[in-house]
Amino acid sequence: MKKPATSARVPGRGRVYDSITDTIGDTPLVRLDKFAREKGIVANLIAKLEFFNPIASVKD
């Protein structure tokens, strides 16, 4: 029986993965509503938190 991935048991940024391939995808996105409102931007402003990726890939 295969044990569940460690990442499933530890929430948040401090997750530990069983394989580097487990880190692919799911880059967190954050709404910047307050910033958009302060700057008068009428749009859904969203930031992609690339620093959460293992090597901070920004190609996608």
- Catalytic site residues? 59
Q: Give per-residue burial for 15-34: e unless 16+ CB within 10 Å, then b.
A: eeeeeeeeeeeeeeeeeeee
